[in-house]
């Protein structure tokens, strides 16, 4: 009896949430902007294509037995020497370019999402501590943030990557490359989260609900997580979207430079790096298609981030 009652409320609450979402300003501004809707569709198609790539790709590029060197360097299907089973052509080893792009985008997105999660985790934690506790801890964290911010993120990421390389034995570089990359990109992007959260926390700290929580003796850590955090997380969402675009670009850049993911598990950046070797001999499709996929993905995420920032900003309504 009680169970049924509970599930009914949960169902009712979900319907209610959906209705509230459809009524909200955010959804309203989404409906009114065709550019954002296109960007959303592009992003969703890319996400789906990347995450379900093992089931969706026309060819399994990791299975050496299906590769045929006779098919190497095929131009896209609409060209004279193109074959229709390889829509976007093939690379130097006869792998289907469309399939490698889908697998590559999967790696790019995994690194992108994980590193943003890491940056959010570090940034929000330090921002909460810094803003809530204040004093010497606050000024120390913010000084470190200032110094890191005066160095471009790509340089910090390169340094952490280089640091990890000199620290780890050479044989482990390939296996751990993905984690090193996530660590490097995540750790180079935490500052903006910390600064934003700190700013909002300092405002929220003086509010009555925080004082009330403090008066009834709740532990500071609990107040930070349960009471302050939910009220400062909005802007974090916006920055995280824009940071995802930056993280994907940073990953592509590092992989292009040859210090990112290994060629055995290529990301979009690695594909462009490999394709770049064949640019002068006229096999442009090996570079241009992964490059176009990367730019479209980042552009879509950037557009969504820009829109989200404006839609959530009450000043612009």
Partner 1 sequence: MLAFIVRRLIQSIIVMLAVAFIAFSLFQFTGDPINNMVGPEASAETRQLLRERLGLDKPFPIQFLHFVGNVVQGEFGVSYRLGMKVEDILVQRLPATLELVAVAALLALAVGVPLGVYTGLHRYGAVSRLMLTLSLVGISLPTFLIGILLILVFAVWLGWLPSFGRGKVVSIGWWTTNFTSWDGFRSIILPAITLSLFQMTLIMRLVRAEMLEVLRTDYIKFARARGLTNRAVNFGHALKNTLVPVITITGLQIGALIAFAIITETVFQWPGMGLLFLQAIQFVDIPVMSSYLVLVAFLFVIINLVVDLLYYAVDPRLRIDRAAVGAH
Catalog residues that contact partner 1 under the rule CB under 8 A. 147, 150-152, 154-155, 158-159, 161-163, 165-167, 170, 245, 249, 252-253, 256-259, 272, 276, 279-280, 282, 284, 287-288, 291, 294-295, 298-299, 302-303, 306
**Nearest distance from C-beta of residue 154 to partner 1, angstroms:** 6
Q: Which is nearer to partner 1, 121 or 257 (CB)?
A: 257
Q: Cα–chain-centroid distance for residue 272?
A: 19
Q: Which is nearer to partner 1, 222 or 279 (CB)?
A: 279
Phi/psi for 24 (5° steps) reads -75, 165
**Nearest distance from C-beta of residue 243 to partner 1, angstroms:** 13
Q: Which is nearer to partner 1, 224 or 311 (CB)?
A: 311
**Nearest distance from C-beta of residue 145 to partner 1, angstroms:** 13
> Which token pair is 257?
């430079």
**Nearest distance from C-beta of residue 295 to partner 1, angstroms:** 6
**Nearest distance from C-beta of residue 130 to partner 1, angstroms:** 19
Q: Which is nearer to partner 1, 132 or 285 (CB)?
A: 285
Q: Which is nearer to partner 1, 114 or 300 (CB)?
A: 300
> Which token pair is 80?
């004279």
**Nearest distance from C-beta of residue 275 to partner 1, angstroms:** 9
**Nearest distance from C-beta of residue 102 to partner 1, angstroms:** 19
Q: Which is nearer to partner 1, 102 or 300 (CB)?
A: 300
Q: Which is nearer to partner 1, 92 or 306 (CB)?
A: 306
């Amino acid at each position: 009896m009680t169970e049924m009652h509970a599930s009914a409320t949960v169902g009712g609450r979900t319907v209610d949430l959906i209705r509230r979402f459809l009524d909200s300003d955010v959804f309203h501004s989404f409906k009114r902007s065709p550019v954002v809707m296109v960007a959303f569709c592009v992003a969703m198609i890319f996400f789906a294509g990347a995450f379900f790539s093992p089931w969706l790709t026309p060819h399994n590029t990791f299975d050496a037995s299906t590769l045929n060197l006779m098919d190497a360097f095929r131009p896209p299907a609409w060209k004279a020497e193109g074959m229709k089973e390889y829509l976007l052509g093939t690379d130097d080893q006869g792998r289907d370019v469309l399939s490698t792009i889908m697998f590559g985008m999967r790696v790019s997105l995994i690194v992108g999402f994980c590193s943003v999660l890491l940056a959010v985790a570090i940034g929000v934690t330090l921002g909460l501590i810094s803003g809530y506790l204040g004093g010497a801890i606050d000024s120390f964290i913010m000084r470190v943030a200032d110094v890191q911010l005066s160095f471009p993120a790509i340089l910090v990421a390169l340094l952490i990557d280089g640091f990890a390389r000199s620290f780890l034995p050479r044989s482990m570089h390939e296996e751990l490359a993905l984690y090193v990359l996530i660590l490097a990109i995540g750790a180079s992007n935490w500052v903006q989260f910390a600064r934003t959260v700190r700013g909002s926390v300092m405002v929220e700290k003086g509010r009555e609900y925080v004082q009330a929580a403090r008066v009834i003796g709740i532990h500071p850590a609990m107040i930070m997580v349960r009471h302050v955090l939910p009220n400062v997380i909005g802007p974090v969402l916006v920055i995280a979207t824009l940071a995802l675009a930056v993280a994907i670009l940073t990953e592509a850049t590092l992989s292009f430079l040859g210090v990112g993911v290994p060629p055995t598990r290529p990301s979009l950046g690695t594909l462009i790096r490999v394709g770049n070797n064949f640019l002068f001999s006229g096999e442009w499709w090996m570079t241009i298609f992964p490059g176009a996929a990367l730019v479209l993905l980042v552009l879509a995420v950037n557009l969504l981030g820009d829109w989200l920032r404006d839609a959530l900003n009450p000043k612009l309504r």
